[in-house]
Amino acid sequence: MAEVVARARSARGEIVLRRRDPPRDGASAPLELRVNGVFVMDTVHTDTEERLAREALAAVARPHRVLVGGLGLGFTLRALLGDNRVEHVTVAEMEPAVVQWVAEGLVPATAGVLDDRRVDVRVTDVRECLAHAEPATLDAILLDVDNGPDHLVFDDNAALYGKDSLARCLACCTDDGAVVVWSASHSADLLERLSALGSSARHLPIAVSLQGRETHHHLYVAAPRRH
C-alpha cells in the first residue's frame, strides 16, 4: 500500500507525492509523483531525466544559460548543476506544490538542489518564460512538462509541442544552442516538426526497464538553423 507523503490541489487538479512499498532488496522506498492519478515520474527510473540534461550539455559548447520546462522531482536540474560551465538555470514549473516539496527536501535525492545560487525557479508555464526571453540568449532549452506530446498530463500543454512554440524555442537559442525534449513514447510528428524548423534534429531512443517491463523513453535534440 502506497503512503501519501504530500498532497495538493491546484487549478489543474490533484498532485500527489507518495511512497511505494520498499523493494525486497532492502533499498529505501521509492517516491513517485502523480497528477490527477496519472503517473509522472518516480525516484527509481531517473536515468532518462538525467540523460536529458547530459544530452543538452553535450550538444552545446558553452551551456552558460539554460531554461528547463518542468522541475519534476529535481533530477534533471541536479544533473545540470553538476556541470561547472552552467552559470544560470531558469526552471519553469506550473505547480507551486512541486516546487515546495523539492525545496523542503521531501525528495531526499535532490534535497538542496533549489538552494544553488545559479537556480531561478518560476512558478509559471514555460511558454511564459519563452515569450519574454530575448532571441538568441539561451544556450539550451529542456522540455519535460508531460509524458511527451502524445501522452499529455494537461491538454493545454499540446501547444508547447506545436510548430509556433518549437520555432520560438529555437529562436531563443544561441547559434550553437540546442532544444532537447523528453517523451515517454516515440513521436514521429515531433521529430518531423523539429526537422522542418531546426537543423540536425535527431531522435534518441533510450532503453529502460519499468517494473519488469522492457521499453524505451525518447529524447529529441534540435539546433537552430545557422545563418
pLDDT for res 157: 85
Distance CA 223, CA 171 (A): 10
Report whether pLDDT(212) > 90.
Answer: no
Residue with cell 532488496: 25
pLDDT in tens, 146-169: 878 888 877 888 999 999 999 999
CA distance 39 to 218: 17
Band of the pLDDT at 25, cuts 50, 70, 90? Answer: low
Reported confidence tier of residue 24, pLDDT bands at 50, 70, 90: low
Residue 26 has pLDDT above 60, yes or no: no
Across the range 8-14, mean pLDDT stands at: 93
Q: Are 206 and 221 in contact (CB under 8 A)?
A: no
**45-223: CATH superfamily:** Vaccinia Virus protein VP39 (3.40.50.150)
Rounded CA separation 176/94 (Å): 28
Model's pTM, two decimal places? 0.94
Kindly indicate the confidence band of residue 100, based on its pLDDT and cuts at 50, 70 and 90. very high
List the grid coordinates of 129.
Answer: 518564460
Domain ranges, ordered by start, for the chain: 45-223
Q: pLDDT tens digits for 50-78?
A: 999 999 999 999 999 999 999 999 999 99
Checking phi first, is residue 17 left (phi over 0); if not, alpha (psi -120 to 50) or beta?
Answer: beta
